[in-house]
Amino acid sequence: MKSPHLITLLPLVLANILLIATSSSSSSPNQNYDDFLECLTDQFQRSNSATDIIYTPQNATYASLLLAQNLRPAATAPERPELIITPRQESEIQAAIHCSKKLNLPIRAKSGGHDFEGLSYTSQTPFVVVDMRNFRSVTISGDGKTAWVQTGATIGQLYHTLALRSRTLAFPAGVCPTVGIGGHFSGGGFGMMSRKFALAADHIVDARIVNADGKIVDRSNMGEDLFWAIRGGGGTSFGIVLEFKVTLVTVPEIVTVFNVTRRLEDNATELVHRWQFVADKIDDELLIRIFLHPDISPTTGNRTVAASFTALFLGRARDLLHIMQREFPELGLTEQDCLEMSWIDSELFFSELWDQPLDVLLDRVPRGSTYFKGKSDYVSTPFPLEALRGIWRFIIEEDGSELQFSPYGGAFNAFSEAETPFPHRRGNIFMIEYIVGWANLNQSEAHLDWLRRLYDYMESYVTKSPRAAYVNYRDLDIGRNNIEGETSYEQASVWGLRYFNNNFRRLVRVKTEVDPSNFFRNEQSIPPMSS
């Protein structure tokens, strides 16, 4: 990543802000960026902060600060942030909140830029971004049992720090190393060890957060309701989390992975069908995901569907083969399919960085940014064979498509629905992530139409009342919101019940208590009851 070009001359910043304020048709008296900058500068002077953490669209590296995995939200939202603030000190975040409230200018916090709908870096109305990239320390306790992780760190950085400490020290989070901790942890955080150790959010034991009053609180004085809400209730509805304290886990020195692909002509339909009866009940040390995507048959040359069975086993290959032969012999796993390695090497394997040095985990820039749309579902009853055949017809039709089936069971069954805001626990066999990507913006409507048709087709086969969804796979198709993110309780309940089930009502009560004016908001944030 290139070093940022820092603004050191305040007059230049003021000139840029004045230019934006006078040229933007959406500007209004209560959104005066000159006033905001003046307020911010005054606050910075009081805390001896520099002004070189403030960026405008005229800065050479402004665009690089908005780099994100998904190009679609920024291409379709009419507003870019007029200011990006990259604080180095907690007082600078407090100053941004103070000025935002004073001037009625919405503020959004950005961690890694992987939000499916870009809610951390795009908006329908003028706004300011607080980019947490400089808050990225990971501090492991002396006994190796816990760590404080700042929310601007990435999953890759967390894993890298753990690997430098020990080959057996680990944490159960996702496999994409450039995902930011702030969003990932606060929405749940599924990963390849989740059947053994549950979610990232389930390991949070403390946190420090800047609340709507600009005060920094931790678990001892934020109240247990707020602490409950930020462990799976979605990012930035309740404040700006500075850091999480998490419990770490211990894994064997050697783990085993495999990635076995079967196509329709290789009996993939029957294998995927059988997987549904095995995946959530098999040994908790083993997690087998399925990745489904279109392919060309190497034998016939025809379009087909490939099903890649990708797994992590917390143990040696010989033990894995014994389990698979007993529980899922239909897959035909062989010793040659299995790779033994350290846990940190398995993370490089799953993130397709197997041939890269460990330091690649420190890269913050998303790889392969493209236009894409995602959705999610939960499955509590196995699909019949005819349902799978219907899915194949959709996949064969769409070149940029992929479906991921991620199994539950195991540690998920140890938590009640209400223990954290993340409700998708017992009774769920697996979660579906739908993804379709494309290269050119003008192709968007055709691909979106395909995904929505598939999603409609799936309605008969997934959970109902409500049809559940994963908040970390945000989907603005669910419900309707007005352009300012001022969503009423009735509007929000449409998507809120899907993401959080019965926990949504408690989240609203917490929001009403800690942020009754709805200062922290976006198009799918938790509303206070009075909204």
Listed in sequence order, the DSSP H helices in 328-443 are 343-350, 385-397
Residue 220 burial class via C-beta count within 10 angstroms: exposed 0-12, middle 13-18, buried 19 and up: exposed
Report the DSSP pairing between strands 303-313 and 255-263.
antiparallel
Amino acid, single-letter form, for residue 422: F
DSSP string, 218-231: EHHHH-HHHHHHTT
- Name, in order, each residue with C-beta under 8 angstroms of 48's C-beta and a sequence gap of 6 or more: none
- Do the beta carbons of residue 379 and residue 468 sit within 8 Å? no
Distance CA 346, CA 258 (A): 10
Enter the DSSP assignment of 296: E
Show Cβ contacts of residue 273 under 8 Å, excluding neighbours closer than 6 positions.
382, 383, 385, 388
Which of 159, 473, 489, 499 does the annotation list as catalytic?
473
Identify whether the C-beta of residue 234 lies closer than 8 Å to the C-beta of residue 525.
yes
Tokens 């934006």 found at: 20
Judge whether 339 and 326 are in contact, CB under 8 Å: no
Instruction: Give CA–CA dist 291/47, Å, rounded.
Output: 50
Ramachandran sector of residue 295 (left: φ over 0; alpha: ψ -120 to 50; beta: rest) = beta
Q: Is 159 a catalytic residue?
A: no
What's the CA angle centered on 213, arms 32 and 529, to 5 degrees? 95
Active site residues per annotation = 473
